[in-house]
Amino acid sequence: MSRFAVGLDFGTESARLVLVDVESGVEAATVIDPYPHGVMTRALPDGTPLGPDWALQHPADYLTATERLLVEAKKAVGADSIVGIGLDFTACTILPAARDGTPLCLRPEFARRPHAYVKLWKHHAAQAQADRINAMRPEFLDLYGRRTSSEWLHAKSLQILEEAPDVFEAADRIIEAGDWVVWQLTGREVRSVCQAGYKAHWQPESGYPPASLLGELHPKFPALATKLVPPRPVGTRAGGLTAGWADRTGLPEGLPVAVAVIDAHAALPGLGVGDPSRLVMVMGTSTCHLLLSRHKVAIPGISGVVRDGVLPGLFAYEAGQPATGDALEWWVRTLAWSSDGAGDVLFQRLNREAASIPPGAGGLVALDWWNGSRTPLVNADLAGVIAGLTVGTSPAQVYRGMVESTAYGTRQVIEVFESGRSVEPVTELRVCGGLSRSPTVMQIYADVTGRTLHASATPHASARGAAVYGALAAGRASGGYDTTEDALAHMRVADFTEYRPDPAARELYAALYGMYRELHQHFGEGGTVLMRRLKELRV
C-alpha cells in the first residue's frame, strides 16, 4: 500500500492540500480552498473601517479550510495510508489569543476591534513602530540586516499595544497563525523556530529580544515576553491530531503533525534543495529568496539568518522583494480598468508582446518598490518609480520594464548574499511560484542575473515542502523518514525548465543594472527624502 504525507499550504488568499507519495514523490491529489473572508483591507465584516495599509484575516477561515482539506485527503487516499501532516503558512501573520488558544476577535467584546484580528504579513501600518525599533539600533538586529520590518512581530505587536492597549493586555499570546493552527490540531502550543527566528528575532543563543529593551519602546511592551513561548525546531513533530479533529476529519487520532514552517521557506525542501549554493526563489506576489549555508554571517540588508530555521544542521538566509507578481498584477489591473478584462488574458498578451522587445529598447528603468523594499533597505515607505516614459511607450514596454526592475532587485539580492564572504557563491537559481510559469519573465531573470534558472513546473512547491516536514514528523517508525536526506531522496520534484542567460542580453543588462543601482541609491540610500515626504502626503 502506498503511503502519503499531507502538505497543507496556507497562502494569502487560500489554503491548498497536496498529498505526496513518500516513496515516489508523486502527487496523489491537490485541492485549493479560498478563505471566505479573503484579505480585509477596507473594513471588518461588520463594516468597521480599517486605516490605510491595513491587511487583516479572519482566523476561522483557516480552520474551515483545514477541515475541508483534511476531509478531502481522507477521501482521496483513505485514512490509513496517511503518515503525517505538515503545514506551511504566510508569515509574519499573527493574532492575539487567549491562553486557551481562543482568538480575541472571536470574543464578542473584541469582535468590532480591528487589532483583535489576524494581521496578515502584508499589513503595512506599523512602519512608525518599526522605525522606532530600528532607531534604537539594538544588537538583536545584527543578524537581520540591522533592521526589523513593519511586517514583523515586534512592530505589529507594538502597534497593537499603542493603538489598542486593552487588546494587547487581554492577549495572553501573540502567535503566528501557522503555529496557532498546529495548536488547534494537536492541542499543544508549539511555536516554530522558523516563524520565531525569521519574524520575531528569536535566536538559539539569546532567545527573543530582551524585555528590558522593549521597555524603552513602551513601558508596557516588556509584557510581550509573556505572550511568546520558546520555539521548537522545524522537521520535528509538534504533536498528534486531537480526538476532536480526528472526529471532524475521519483521520486517526494521534496522527503526527509537524512543527509549522513559513510558506516560502517550505519551498526549499519542496524543490529538493538540501545544501548550499543553490538559491531558492519563491516568486509569487512577492519574492522570497532562501539560501542555505554552513556559516553564520551578519550580512547587511538580509532579512534574517537562523540556524535550523529551514533544515536541521544548516543556517538558512532569507531575503525578500515585497512586490514582484504584486507589482505586475497592479499593471494588469490598471490596464483592465477600462474593460473589466480578464487578468490572465492580459498577462499572456503582455508576456507575448514583452518577449519581442529587446533589453533596454523601451528606454525605461524602474524601481521595484511597489510595496517598499525588504532586501536590502527594509523600508516600507519606499514606493515605485518609472523613469523614461514617452508618448511612444507601450503597455508591454512598461510591463517589461517592471519585470526587469524586479530582476535587477533579485540581482542585487544575490550580490548582497555574496557580499557575506562566508556564504558559498550562488551557482544556480531554483524558482517556483506563479511567475516561474512565465518563460518571458524567467528569461529576463536569467539574462539580468547572468545565471541559469531552473524553474519548477509544480505549482505546489511549498505544499510539497510541507509534506516533507509531515513525513519527518512521522519518522521512519510511522512510515516517514528520520533524516532530511532520506526524505528529499524520495520526495523530490522531477521536472525543471532550464533558462540560460543570453550573452548579448546579459551585457546590455549590466549597463541597465547600473542605472537601476543609481536610481536605487538616489531614492533609497540617502540621495533624497522624497519618498518619505510622498508617503506622508498619501491618503
What residue ranges bind a copy of itself (CB under 8 A)?
Answer: 52, 323, 326-327, 329-330, 334-339, 341, 346, 358, 360-365, 370-371, 383-393, 395, 398, 508, 511-512, 515, 518-519, 522-523, 527-528, 530-531, 533-535, 537-539
Query: Minimum CB separation from a copy of itself for residue 21, in Å?
Result: 38
Q: Which is nearer to a copy of itself, 354 or 487 (CB)?
A: 354
In degrees, rounded to 5, the angle at the alpha carbon of residue 142 between the alpha carbons of residues 171 and 233 is 55
**Which of 226/356 has CB closer to a copy of itself?**
356
Q: How far is the CB of 360 from a copy of itself (least distance, A)?
A: 4
Nearer to a copy of itself, 234 or 385 (CB): 385
| Residue whose CB is less far from a copy of itself, 42 or 294 | 42
Name the burial class of residue 224, with classes exposed (0-12), middle (13-18) and buried (19+) by CB atoms within 10 angstroms of its CB: buried
Tell me whether residue 166 or residue 329 sits nearer to a copy of itself (CB atom): 329
> Rounded to whole angstroms, how far apart are CA atoms 383 and 478?
50
Q: Are strands 304-307 and 315-321 parallel, antiparallel or unpaired?
A: antiparallel
CA nearest 138: which of 39, 88, 206? 206
* CB of residue 405 to a copy of itself, shortest distance in Å: 11
Could you tell me the smallest distance in angstroms from the CB atom of residue 431 to a copy of itself? 22
105 preceded by cis ω (within 30°)?
Answer: no
CB of 115 to a copy of itself, least distance (A): 21
From the CB of 498, what's the least distance to a copy of itself, in Å? 28
- Min separation Cβ 363 and a copy of itself, Å: 3
Closest CA to 262 of 192, 188, 175: 192
SS3 of 319-348: the string is: EEECCCHHHHHHHHHHHCCCCCCCHHHHHH
Nearest CB to a copy of itself, comparing residues 330 and 478: 330
Instruction: Give the CA distances from residue 464 to residues 20, 72, 417, 442, in Å, rounded to whole numbers and listed in that order.
Output: 7, 16, 26, 22
Lookup: cell for 345: 488574458
| Least distance CB 519 / a copy of itself (angstroms) | 7
User: CB of residue 336 vs a copy of itself: minimum separation in angstroms?
Assistant: 6
Q: Which CB atom, from 225 or from 355, has the smaller least distance to a copy of itself?
A: 355
Taking the least distance from each CB to a copy of itself, the nearer of 85 and 512 is 512
Other CB atoms within a 10 A radius of the CB of residue 136 amount to 13
Closest distance to a copy of itself from the beta carbon of 145 (Å): 22
Do the strands 315-321 and 428-432 form a parallel or antiparallel pair, or are they unpaired? unpaired
Residue with smaller CB distance to a copy of itself, 291 or 380: 380
Residue partners of 143: CB distance under 8 A and separation at least 6: 203, 296, 298, 302, 304, 305, 306
The SS3 call for residue 82 is strand
Q: Report the amino acid identity of residue 202.
A: W
Contacts 24+ apart (CB under 8 A), 138-142: 138/209, 138/213, 140/201, 140/203, 140/206, 140/209, 140/210, 140/213, 141/201, 142/298
Closest CA to 294 of 275, 279, 314, 317: 314
Q: Which is nearer to a copy of itself, 16 or 122 (CB)?
A: 122
* Residue 136: CB minimum distance to a copy of itself, A: 27
**8 Å CB contact between 209 and 236:** no
Compare residues 135 and 337 and give the one whose CB is closer to a copy of itself: 337
Which amino acid appears at position 192 of this protein? S
- How far is 58 from 37, CA to CA, in rounded Å? 6
Task: Confirm if 105 and 26 have CB atoms less than 8 A apart.
Answer: no
Q: What are phi and psi of 424, to 5 degrees?
A: -60, 145
Cβ 76 to a copy of itself, closest distance in Å? 36
Would residue 345 be called left, alpha or beta, if left means φ above 0 and alpha means ψ between -120 and 50 degrees?
alpha
Nearer to a copy of itself, 219 or 343 (CB): 343
Please say which residue, 229 or 386, places its beta carbon nearer to a copy of itself. Answer: 386
Work out how close the CB of 164 gets to a copy of itself at its nearest, in angstroms, rounded to a whole number.
Answer: 24
Q: Residue 191, Cβ neighbours under 10 Å: how many?
A: 25
